[in-house]
């Protein structure tokens, strides 16, 4: 997705040590935020996350377009990202 209107951000509530292990093991190429607050401030509480992973596809206007509990699989993710990218490209194209 390099060079395309796309950003991937991870948010992880695990211990810092576990997060660092996962980052090394999975070779993250995207930023991952460490959400280490108490139960009332954790993002997973504010977004009602009840399982891991949770994947939110959010468009450029901040609207949640898709939400998956668990991984939907690479094919589904790729398909939804391509669909959203086509929408963005169509809106950005000059009118004839």
Q: Is residue 4 part of a domain?
A: no
Q: What is the dihedral of CA 80, 71, 29, 78, to 10 degrees?
A: -20
- Segments forming the whole domain that contains residue 25: 10-92
pLDDT confidence tier of residue 79, bands split at 50, 70 and 90: very high
Q: Is residue 5 part of a domain?
A: no
What's the mean pLDDT in 29-36? 82
Q: Is residue 38 part of a domain?
A: yes
Q: Which two tokens stand for residue 31?
A: 């930023």
Q: Is the pLDDT of residue 81 over 80?
A: yes
Question: Considering only CA atoms, which of 76, 38, 72, 78 is closest in space to residue 53?
Answer: 72
pLDDT confidence tier of residue 71, bands split at 50, 70 and 90: confident
- Give the range among 22-26, 68-72, 85-89 with minimum mean pLDDT: 85-89
Q: Cis peptide before 53, with omega less than 30 degrees from 0?
A: yes
Q: Is residue 43 part of a domain?
A: yes
Which CATH number belongs to the domain containing residue 68 in this structure? 3.40.30.10
pLDDT confidence tier of residue 25, bands split at 50, 70 and 90: very high
Domain count across the chain: 1
Q: pTM for the complete prediction?
A: 0.70
């Amino acid at each position: 997705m390099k060079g395309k209107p796309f950003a991937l951000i991870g948010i992880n509530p695990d211990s810092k040590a576990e997060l660092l292990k996962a980052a090394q093991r999975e070779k993250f190429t995207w930023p991952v935020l460490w959400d280490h607050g108490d139960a009332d401030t954790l993002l997973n509480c504010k977004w009602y996350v009840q399982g891991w992973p949770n994947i939110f596809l959010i468009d450029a206007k901040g609207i949640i377009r898709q939400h998956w509990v668990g991984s939907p699989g690479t094919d589904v993710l790729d398909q939804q990202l391509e669909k959203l990218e086509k929408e963005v490209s169509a809106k950005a194209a000059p009118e004839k």
